[in-house]
A and B are shown apart, each in its own frame.
Chain A
Amino acid sequence: MMFRIVTIAAVALAVAGTAARAADQRYPDWPCTQAKVPEISLAAVWAGPPLDDVQNKWKDNEKVAALVAKLSARKTPLDEAEKSVKEFLAGSAADKAANAKLLFAGLFDTLNAQRSQVMNGLERVSRKQREAADKIREEAVQLQALQGATPRDEAKVEALSNDLIWKTRIFEDRHKVVRFVCEVPTAIDQRLFALGRVIQQEME
């Protein structure tokens, strides 16, 4: 039992060590192996006409605003989203070019904001994980001291062991979630690019 606890603590500490190391010195809290790109630049996803004249106006257009919300939701499958773009623009007749610009401006704002939120969340969790790792390290040292003490206070050893098991488990679970969430900014990039590409094709 005791051996297992120590092993768990050691594993957690090893994991905590890798989680704490940032690949890019500019972003010490960034927990992902994927490079942090703080914002998607418009030029990376859009080669169509300038959007200066439609900025923020997309929110005033009910139809566009509703469609932006639907297309930005990750639960909407991408092929379904692409189909919706085509249908919307096909039904826009004379307003096609204007609507296309409004729609993309809306998607660009919304998905970029969504992406920032996810990235901020990841950094917040990464800071929490670092605190948790410190705590686990501290308790592991305490436990070792308690185990070596004579006479040994079995009740205290037991209590601290249980606490350590829990903290380690939470730490590991969170670590797995972080790795999964690290894929999300890229998934948002992909969605924005794919939808932008369909909109530009429809404009030609």
Chain B
Amino acid sequence: MQAEVRTRMLRAGLLSGLALAAAPAHAFIAYVSNEKGNTVSVIDTESWTVTKTIKVGQRPRGIEFTRDGKFVMVAVGDDDTIQVIDAKTQSVVDSLPSGPDPELFAQDAAGKILYVANENDNTVTVIDLEKRARLGDIQVGVEPEGMTISPDGKTLINTSETTNMAHFIDTSSRQIVANVLVDARPRFAEFRHDSSELWVSSEIGGTVSVIDPRKHEVIGKVTFEIPGLRREAIQPVGIGMTRDDKTAFIALGPANRIAVVDTATRKVTKYLLVGQRVWHMAFTPDEKYLLTTNGVSNDVSVIDVAAQKVIKTIQVGELPWGITIAP
């Protein structure tokens, strides 16, 4: 009798455990900018389908949710502005005063200030997000591109494509305090969550530089090698780092792969074939999935982060570029 009860309890426990495991993951909403299609695709992460396609301005690239999750900002470079999409109505409701040809932007931790890289006039525009007004400009190198803010909010990083530098900008004085030379055409910058390192990808150099943000020195480099692929086909762009800072995912452009990197050894542990010209990426907030934009195959790949496997492909608009997921 007792044994039977125990078995029953055990079975019930197992069943509930199974039920938990089988329960659908929390649904999130991802927004993808389609550079050539001049649209933004909205993806539901429960059904993994495109639920809406929003018409936006010309050449949408950088895209990010506001910190409160209420709006999505998208840089429409050829219209020289940043459009604001209301996440509730999923339509464009406003625009922000950037400089000419905005490409990427970063916001401070509080979500009050936005820093925009304007590719055409070598400046970073500072915008007050509440007033939606321009506060000023910072002169940087030629063709500013990558943008990120240190976790403490004190340092803004901007990379310039032609000058091949990562500029360290003090956010309170809005002055450049240091320049670090990296490999050719730096594209994207990402801090470790513990602030100990800044990673900068170089599209033409084919490397990711690891920078000590206090000493402003390159302390290591991540390199890539894929048998059968020419070196110039390996073009690192987007970088994503898990919250525990143990694993980095790096998009390799026309190599059509994501490199999985052990941040301790700075070595690639695995390459995942995703889609053609993989560019940027975003984690779901629970960090179960990583979504990548694949420009030439016009789709988004879904990677199971724990299993390090591609589990799904979703067709989106023409030339998907950036991606952001609701917080």
Q: List A residues at the B interface (Cβ < 8 Å).
A: 41-47, 186, 189-190, 193-194, 197, 200
Across-interface contacts of A42 in B (CB, < 8 A): 228
**Residues A47 and B297 in contact in the complex (CB < 8 Å), given A41-B229, A41-B230:** no
* Inter-chain contact A190/B257, CB cutoff 8 Å: no
Chain A residues closer than 8 Å to B271, beta-carbon distance: 47
Binding site secondary structure of chain B = loop
Whether the Cβ atoms of B255 and A44 lie closer than 8 Å is yes
- Which residues in chain B, 188-232, are within 8 Å of chain A measured between CB atoms? 226-230
A35: nearest residue on chain B (CB-CB)? Answer: B254
List, sorted by A's number, 27 A–B pairs whose CB atoms are closer than 8 Å.
Answer: A41-B228, A41-B230, A42-B228, A43-B228, A44-B229, A44-B254, A44-B255, A44-B256, A45-B256, A46-B273, A47-B257, A47-B271, A47-B272, A47-B273, A189-B276, A189-B296, A190-B276, A190-B296, A190-B297, A190-B298, A193-B256, A193-B275, A193-B296, A194-B297, A197-B273, A197-B275, A197-B313
Q: Does B233 contact A (CB under 8 A)?
A: yes
Please give me the residue from chain B that is nearest to A44 by CB atom: B256
Contact size class for B?
A: 10 to 19
Residues of B close to A44: CB separation below 8 A:
229, 233, 254-256
Q: Please indicate the chain A residues that have their CB under 8 angstroms from the CB of B272 in the complex.
A: 47
Evaluate contact between A43 and B229: CB separation under 8 angstroms.
yes
- How close is B237's CB to chain A, nearest CB, in angstroms? 16
Q: Which residues of B contact A43 (CB under 8 A)?
A: 226-229
Q: Is the CB of B297 within 8 A of A193?
A: yes
Residues of chain B within 8 A (CB-CB) of A46 are 273
Complex alpha-carbon distance, A189 and B226, angstroms: 19
By a CB distance below 8 angstroms, the chain A residues around B257 are 47
Which B residue sits closest to A78, measured CB to CB?
Answer: B315
The 5 closest A-B pairs by CB, nearest first: A43-B228, A47-B273, A43-B229, A193-B276, A44-B256
B214 to chain A, nearest CB (A): 39
Most B CB contacts (10 A, CB to CB) among A186, A189, A197, A200 go to A197
B227 proximity list for chain A (CB < 8 A): 43
Q: Which residues on A sit within 8 Å (CB–CB) of B297?
A: 190, 193-194
In Å, the complex CA distance between A106 and B272 comes to 23
A185: min CB distance to chain B, Å: 11
A47 cross-chain contacts in B, Cβ below 8 A: 257, 271-273
Docked complex Cα distance between A194 and B255 (Å):
15
A194–B274 CA distance with the chains assembled, in angstroms? 10
Q: Are A200 and B228 in contact (CB under 8 A)?
A: no
B135-153 interface mask toward A, CB cutoff 8 Å, 1 = contact, 0 = none? 0000000000000000000
Task: A96 to B168: give the CA distance in the assembly, Å.
Answer: 54
CB closest residue in chain B, given A79: B315
CB distance from B120 to the nearest CB of A (A): 20
0/1 per residue, B15-30, Cβ < 8 Å to A?
0000000000000000
Report the separation of the CA atoms of residues A145 and B126 in the bound assembly, to the nearest whole angstrom. Answer: 60
Q: Which residues of B contact A194 (CB under 8 A)?
A: 297
Task: Give A41 to B226 CA distance when docked, in angstroms.
Answer: 11
